[in-house]
Amino acid sequence: MSLQRQTYLVVGFIVLLGVILGVWISRWWLLLPTLMGVGMLVAGVIGFCNMTRLLSKLPWNEPHSGRI
């Protein structure tokens, strides 16, 4: 799965979770999707996404060295 698609899935999940928790638990949880939205706006303006950078460090996204 591409890194861009992984980023969309993670951000979408966090936004959905924040909205659900904001409706059912406390309105303070609505800060979570707000922060994700701000992060996506910043990424669109400057061309750098911290979430993508974090995801690229995960083991399944590391380039293979060819060794077993």
Distance CA 19, CA 21 (A): 5
pLDDT at 58: 84
Q: What is the pLDDT of residues 4-55, one digit of tens each?
A: 899 899 999 999 999 999 999 999 999 999 999 999 999 999 988 888 888 8
Geometric angle at alpha carbon 15, from 29 and 57, rounded to 5°: 110
Cβ-contact 14, 40 below 8 angstroms: no
| pLDDT tier, 66 (very low <50, low <70, confident <90, very high otherwise) | low
